[in-house]
């Protein structure tokens, strides 16, 4: 059994600066990914939050309710991936494909959670770990490019950013805003929530992404302008 961790602190700092307003109850997001290669050749990815995230430029006023103390490490989710190997008797042989998956989250899973989980991204990470055998000195483990799609580190960084709809490209959106694909994703989630009977999908997306409702409403408006959503009706909430 090989167990090792990778700290995603830089990603966490970006989330803290962009997603969590002042005086908000600390939001837990995984900032460490623990990898484990088992004796039978499966790969386990554990998404761990090792400290609560807050963004406060000033101390909280005394009348603001203080959140309960969080444990030093909280396991948020676990993904275990089993592989079909070139040699069924050798769990360290080349993986030929995924033979089974198991997903657990601390807060439980809904059908919508399973549908929105970044399966392609995280299965690619597990496959890369399986191919390196958990050897952190392997040439395919890391490179100078933090987002190299041919390394474990690069695939992990990409998967983590994609989970939060953050751009990992070196060129920042700037005043031009996000790429059209971003607004297409917002529109898709908006329509999913509508089909599930959610009366205020804009607020729900704001809660899920930890952005303000006004920011998300701007995304929805842009999605309508780009044709990903039908024009809204005047006076229609949500």
* Secondary structure E strands in the chain: 2-7, 32-37, 43-49, 74-85, 95-105
Domain parsing of the chain, residue ranges: 2-163, 174-225
Give the closest residue to 52 by CA, choosing from 92, 77, 33, 25. 25
pLDDT in tens, the chain (238 residues): 444 454 544 443 333 333 333 333 334 455 678 888 888 889 999 887 766 544 444 455 556 565 555 556 677 889 999 999 999 899 889 999 999 999 988 888 888 888 888 888 899 999 999 999 888 888 888 888 888 888 988 888 888 878 766 666 655 545 566 888 889 989 999 999 999 999 899 999 988 887 889 989 999 999 999 999 988 665 454 5
The span from the CA of 199 to the CA of 107, in Å, is: 23
Rounded distance between C-alpha atoms, residue 49 and residue 106, angstroms: 12
Q: Is the pTM of this model over 0.85?
A: no
In sequence order, what are the residues at sequence separation of 6 or more whose Cβ sits closer than 8 angstroms to the Cβ of residue 103? 77, 78, 79, 80, 109, 114, 117
- Report the C-alpha gap between 118 and 141 in whole angstroms: 21
């Amino acid at each position: 059994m090989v167990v090792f961790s990778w700290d995603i602190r830089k990603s966490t700092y970006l989330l803290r600066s962009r997603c969590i307003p002042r005086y908000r109850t600390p939001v837990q997001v995984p900032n460490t990914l623990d990898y484990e290669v088992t004796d039978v050749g499966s790969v386990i990815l554990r998404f761990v939050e090792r400290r609560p995230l807050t963004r406060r430029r000033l101390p909280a006023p005394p009348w603001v309710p203080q959140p309960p103390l969080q444990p030093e490490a909280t396991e948020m989710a676990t993904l275990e991936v089993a592989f079909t190997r070139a040699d069924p008797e050798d769990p360290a042989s080349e993986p030929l494909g995924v033979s089974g998956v198991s997903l657990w989250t601390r807060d439980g899973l809904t059908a919508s959670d399973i549908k929105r989980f970044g399966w392609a991204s995280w299965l690619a990470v597990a496959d890369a770990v399986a191919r390196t055998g958990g050897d952190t000195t392997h040439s395919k483990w890391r490179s100078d490019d933090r987002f190299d799609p041919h390394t474990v580190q690069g695939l992990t960084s990409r998967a983590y950013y994609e989970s939060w709809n953050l751009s990992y490209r070196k060129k920042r959106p700037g005043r031009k805003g996000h790429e059209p694909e971003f607004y297409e994703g917002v529109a898709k989630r908006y329509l999913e929530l509508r089909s599930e009977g959610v009366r205020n999908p804009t607020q729900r997306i704001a809660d899920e992404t930890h952005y303000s409702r006004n920011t998300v409403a701007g995304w929805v408006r842009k999605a309508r302008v780009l044709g990903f959503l039908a024009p809204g009706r005047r006076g229609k909430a949500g």
